Amino acid sequence: MSKDQLFFTIFEGIPKYIMTKQYYTELYERDLQRLIMEMEAYPQPEEMWLNATGISNTSGHLAQHLIGNLRTFVCAPMGGFPYERDREAEFKAVRFTDEELLKELYALKADVKASIEKLEDLNAAYPIHIKAVCEGQTNDFMLCHLLAHLAYHTGQINYHRRLLTTPVIPVQK
């Protein structure tokens, strides 16, 4: 199976793209690299821990949350990487120095890739006791769901960085 081939099936006349482990690996590597680039783009590393009125979470806390989320729902069940999550601390504590956080993100990128590569069957049932999203959920569904979650929070981090590190210019009326 060539990565350059387009796989699709026709379902009620609508092309349906068939995801493969290779495609998921490439998408996760791309989006985790985007997350890393956003975190590295802060002019001063301590700014990732700043907050402003009306913003619930700092970028540092969102990055910690993504580490916990992907380690819990991808790396542990799919790759066999042991991980004990403390979700509350992801949002309330500074668990890593700025340098450690970036190292954790680079390690996460490698572990997510290894976990996806270890999967034997994308269409196998994803354990409902680990994360229940919908009835009949598969590894494929969960990888798609978690990729959307990663992209959502990476967008929040991008906005946070630009909002808190860019000089404010008043709009001319």
Q: What is the pLDDT of residue 2?
A: 39
Q: What is the pLDDT of residue 12?
A: 54
Distance CA 159, CA 156 (A): 5
What pLDDT does residue 16 have? Answer: 59
CATH number at residue 49: 1.20.120.450
Q: What amino acid is encoded at 173 in this protein?
A: K
Q: Which residues of the chain have pLDDT under 50?
A: 1-11
Give the chain's domain count. 1
Q: How many CB atoms lie within 10 A of CB 151?
A: 15
**Cα 49 from Cα 165, distance rounded (Å):** 12
Is 151 inside any structural domain? yes
Residue with tokens 């002019």: 43
Does residue 3 form part of some domain? no
pLDDT the model gives residue 7: 38
Full-model pTM: 0.86
The pLDDT value given to residue 54: 87
pLDDT for the residue 170: 73
